[in-house]
Amino acid sequence: MNIQPKTRGFICTTAHPEGCAQQVKRQVEYVKAQPALEGPKNVLVIGASTGYGLASRIVASFASGANTIGVYFDKAAEGSRTASAGWYNSAAFEREAAEAGRKSYSIVGDAFSDEIKAKTLDLIRTELGKIDLIVYSVASPRRTHPKTGETFTSVIKPIGGTYSNKTVNFHTGEVTTAVIEPATEDEIRQTIAVMGGEDWQMWIDELQKADLLTADATTVAYSYIGPEITHAVYREGTIGRAKNDLEATALRLNKQLGATGGRAYVSVNKALVTQSSSAIPVVPLYISALYKVMKEKGNHEGCIEQMYRLFSERLYTGGETPVEPDGLIRIDDWEMREDVQAEVMQLWADLATENVYEKSDLEGYRREFFQLFGFETEGVDYEADTNPEVDIPNLR
Ligand code: NAD
């Protein structure tokens, strides 16, 4: 069939298998061109099919020669519906990994469930033995608690007062004001239940109980802090409360794994175009301004560059992992540099519909958004007849 993008709000409901494969290949090539790492050898990535999780899996496999298991929530093609981008990405990743002689396996399903945890543990036992790195990179709007059966929904809202700031419709370039009413106590509780640390803790507990971790195992989850202008809706809002919980979980896990020489971290990453970040009001406009400034300064990074730097300059340096006094790894250091933020804020003050393409990299944002789904990618013939049905070689 002929596959073209179909958007509904900030999601794209189609994906292109060859475009996704090209995007994965580009990331693999980037990593292959960097120095190899003395890093992990058997890696579990939870939330492995897109964004930061996919990039972590690629770095582990191609910089450190690791065997990997990816757990993710994606859909195969069915009838006239294409598969989701994460499905095509993972199929492409597994083909690349096999070619390079690395083992890789996929488990598709709800990482929050007991069933998927048990299935993953069985697979580790039979195929990898023990795991020395667990990356937790799930971003989800919903979670059903495995013990109580309650389904929680996460929201992105401020706490205590109404928030308003500029936002953009990145399809049309229209800059308007987003006004977001404060969250209720119950919405805060539910967002923490979805995006906080409870599930990460459950995974580590299960892995430890089953004796499937090496004594010096490392685990890392991802967080975001960002600029003052988004604090009320992000860092000091519902999602920030969830990130506080995630960060508190890291401190607990660091003690738990530290007893045998292991370690746990939260890494604060840069704001980037991913399926998750495009759903947050204000953030796409901020990212567009940030991209303009960082591209001009020559220090712009995407997911793969961020994750290679996280592995090579933070997690696997051969010595101590540099952390802040609060225990956080900061790989958002270039985003948060004073000169970068000062220039972004200068642009921000003026941003309006009339000048958004000139004063921000909205065109770059829009293109990257479509590239997440395999569109607007060089070397792909979008007029060609394309088979949407793609197998993931080692799907269990
Ligand atoms: P993403 O949407 O690209 O990826 C999310 C992953 O989670 C996908 O692989 C998806 O399949 C998986 N997933 C979702 N629900 C699942 C479920 N129930 N079971 C199994 N897998 C599931 O998101 P991302 O932006 O890469 O975010 C990953 C982490 O990085 C999040 O913690 C996010 O807060 C953090 N982060 C993101 C940014 C950013 O700007 N994008 C910046 C800093 C930190």
Cα of 139 vs centre of ligand 1, distance in Å, is: 3
249 within domain boundaries? yes
Cα of 303 vs centre of ligand 1, distance in Å, is: 12
Atom of ligand 1 nearest to the CA of 269: 43
Which of 270, 244, 246 is closest to 330 using CA atoms? 270
235 within domain boundaries? yes
Atom of ligand 1 nearest to the CA of 55: 26
Q: What is the pLDDT of residues 282-304, one digit of tens each?
A: 999 999 999 999 999 999 999 99
Any idea what the CATH number is for the domain that residue 93 is in?
3.40.50.720
Atom of ligand 1 nearest to the CA of 372: 3
What pLDDT is recorded for position 319? 92
Which of 84, 49, 80 is closest to 303 using CA atoms? 49
Identify the residues whose C-beta falls under 6 Å from ligand 1: 47-53, 71-74, 86, 110-112, 137-140, 222-224, 269, 271-272, 274-277
pLDDT band with cut points at 50, 70 and 90 for residue 395: very high
Cα of 89 vs centre of ligand 1, distance in Å, is: 14
Q: Is there a catalytic annotation at residue 234? A: yes
Residues 6 or more apart in contact with residue 259 via CB below 8 angstroms: none
pLDDT at 332 over 90: yes
The secondary structure of residue 31, as a DSSP letter, is H
What pLDDT is recorded for position 361? 97
Query: What φ, ψ does residue 152 adopt, rounded to 5°?
Result: -105, 150
73, 111 contact by CB (below 8 A): yes
Euclidean distance between CA atoms 226 and 218, whole angstroms: 25
The sign of the torsion formed by the CA atoms of 192, 193, 195, 198 equals positive
Cα of 195 vs centre of ligand 1, distance in Å, is: 10
Q: Which domain holds residue 210?
A: 8-141+190-274+301-333
Which of 197, 284, 299, 270 is closest to 233 using CA atoms? 284
H helices then E strands: how many in the chain? 13, 13
Across the range 12-17, mean pLDDT stands at 96
101 within domain boundaries? yes
pLDDT band with cut points at 50, 70 and 90 for residue 9: confident
- Exactly one of 234, 286, 308, 365 is catalytic; name it: 234
Q: What is the pLDDT of residues 365-383, one digit of tens each?
A: 999 999 999 999 999 999 9
What pLDDT is recorded for position 8? 86
174 within domain boundaries? no
**Residue nearest (by alpha carbon) to ligand 1 atom 27:** 139
80 within domain boundaries? yes
384 within domain boundaries? no
373 within domain boundaries? no
Atom of ligand 1 nearest to the CA of 277: 41
Which of 273, 272, 223, 269 is closest to 373 using CA atoms? 273
Count of domains forming the chain: 1
Residues 6 or more apart in contact with residue 195 via CB below 8 angstroms: 139, 140, 154, 239, 242, 243, 246
Other C-beta atoms within 10 Å of 358: how many? 11
392 within domain boundaries? no
Cα of 130 vs centre of ligand 1, distance in Å, is: 25
